[in-house]
Amino acid sequence: MLPIRASISNTYAGVLTAFALIWCVSSAARLLAHPAPFSYLDVYLSADGLAGRLVLHDLDVAYELKVEPPSQLADPAYVEQRATAIAALLQPRLKFFKDGRAIAWTLTAFRPVAGRDAVEMLWRAPASGTTGRLTVAAHLFPYDPEHQTFVNVYEGDALVRQEILNSGRTSVDFFTGTRQGLLAVFKAFTASGIHHIAIGPDHILFIVGLLLLGGSLTRLLAIVTAFTLGHSVTLALATFQIVDLPPRIIEPAIALSIVYVGADNLLAGTKGRDVRAWVALLFGLVHGFGFASVLRETGLPDRALGVSLFSFNLGVEIGQAAIVVVVASALALVRRRNPSLARRIALTGSVGVMIAGAFWFFQRVF
């Protein structure tokens, strides 16, 4: 019986192995039939404007233009014949902006790329004057959510930036190494800092929590300055990759800082102490790592790293100062006119800050 059972087991194993080999072969065939969904875009900046090269896989072009079979795109005459259709397809999907102003571009040459199942196109976008910020927006084949466009940007013959655009990130900014480029960096990152504060409820609530107890102008300035010093230090350390912490640690820690501020306000009311400046300094270090993660997502220009860091931090300070002026002024007005109401606002506000911080903490952890 044992030899028969062993024979059956061997046969069963052999069948499984055969099926596995067939599956691997069929998977490989599917991969070969559906090549990686990539496009390649070269952008050259000069005093005359932009020029470059765009390489697309023929299967993507064939799908969009309903070309059957796609192998027709290997014929130079056929590609030239479909040039107008290809241009009409790409015009709304590939856009260039010089310092925020759209630049019209045209395709100047078309040809198949021998041996690569691809079509190469040369394009040009005349534009006079020095470019400070160049924005490239590319969403070439929306039908394929996995499609990616590899972008190379050159100043003269020097490659200065490489990026990847996809369905989740369809545009990117490039800043030139000119004076106009530095000014564009300053404007863009200052606005980004202000925007980040404006849309960051956790940072806003932390600052509001620090202001609920009020205080003299000197005290409030000390609190704000301490928070600024704290987040400026860690923002710089993380930006220059000296010290960095992952978001899974920083985001819950920011939420806990909000809980602590609310609790500290309640304790300060019973013990008569005020350590808000130290709290602001300590947790400013935590918030700085949060700012750094946002700053990296915007795409830091390597040649203007210091300017981008300074201007982003300046934008954060402008947004923060606006919150302080509005909230502190409103609380001071209530305190002068109705001290008991001001105390109730401080109490209920501190409890609300704690609840919001606790909610964000559990949300970010679990």
* pLDDT tens, position by position, 184-198: 889 988 998 898 888
HSE-up (13 A, CA, CB side) for residue 141: 22
* Average pLDDT taken over every residue of the chain: 84
Cα 151 to Cα 134: distance, rounded to the nearest angstrom: 13
Give residue 182's pLDDT. Answer: 86
Residue with tokens 């990296």: 296
Question: Which tokens hold the place of 123?
Answer: 């394009």
3 state SS of 35: coil
CA distances from 237 to 244, 260, 283, 290, 320 (A): 7, 24, 15, 12, 21
* pLDDT tens, position by position, 142-159: 999 999 999 999 988 888
pLDDT surpasses 90 at 48: no
256 with 361: CB under 8 angstroms? yes
Give residue 1's pLDDT. Answer: 41
Give residue 17's pLDDT. Answer: 45
The bridge status of strand 101-103 relative to strand 106-113 is unpaired
pLDDT surpasses 50 at 15: no
User: Does 126 sit behind a cis peptide bond, omega within 30 degrees of 0 on the bond before it?
Assistant: no
When pLDDT is averaged across residues 232-256 and rounded to a whole number, the result is 89
HSE-up (13 A, CA, CB side) for residue 24: 6
Geometric angle at alpha carbon 260, from 259 and 262, rounded to 5°: 70
Per-domain residue ranges of the chain:
38-176, 181-365
Give residue 105's pLDDT. Answer: 93
When pLDDT is averaged across residues 40-46 and rounded to a whole number, the result is 93
pLDDT surpasses 60 at 323: yes
Geometric angle at alpha carbon 87, from 86 and 89, rounded to 5°: 65
200 with 287: CB under 8 angstroms? no
Residue with tokens 């980004």: 192
pLDDT surpasses 80 at 325: yes
Q: Which pTM was predicted?
A: 0.71
CA distances from 84 to 80, 118, 218 (A): 8, 17, 68
As a whole number of angstroms, the longest Cα–Cα distance in the chain is: 99
Give residue 157's pLDDT. Answer: 82
Residues 6+ apart with CB under 8 A from 253: 286
In 3D space, the residue among 317, 318, 265 whose CA is nearest the CA of residue 288 turns out to be: 317
In 3D space, the residue among 263, 264, 283 whose CA is nearest the CA of residue 354 turns out to be: 263
CA distances from 152 to 41, 102, 144, 247, 263 (A): 6, 19, 22, 29, 51
* Eight-state DSSP code of residue 100: T
Give residue 19's pLDDT. Answer: 41
